Amino acid sequence: MAETVQIEVKFNPKNLESVFGLPYRIEVEKGDTIEWIIKDPLIFKEIFFSSKKRIYGVKFTLYFEDTTPFQWKTESLRILGRFPPFYPDRFPIKIATGIADKKGDHKYGLKLVSLENENKGEPDFDDDPYLRVY
């Protein structure tokens, strides 16, 4: 029976293994719905106020470079804020959702870029774990 698997995205820029607190490998069954979500509103305070420069917004991008178990390869979410701090008022927030319909090991990435750096091509933070569909 298909399940919904929620992967909570956190933010800790000092965690060298996973700045977003993602497990290195996630295993799900074919047909499961996978959701990458933000549950804690304080993540935005940490993101917007962790930098010494003004950040007016961020973009989360979840992407699969090679194979993807979903009908999409890239999903993005933009959040505007800081001055004044406009944070979303409904939680959890979904960054991406998909039904895993292709078996295999799929390397994916979750990156965060401030909107000020978006055109420079380099993310502020990037994690690259695996999603295994069996």
CB-CB neighbours of 119 under 10 Å: 7
0.95 exceeded by pTM = no
pLDDT in tens, 52-108: 677 778 899 999 999 999 999 999 999 876 554 556 667 889 999 999 999 999 999
Q: Which domain holds residue 90?
A: 4-133
pLDDT in tens, 105-119: 999 999 999 888 888
Number of domains in the chain: 1
Report pLDDT for 85: 53
Which of 43 and 64 is assigned the larger pLDDT?
64
CATH number at residue 102: 2.60.40.420
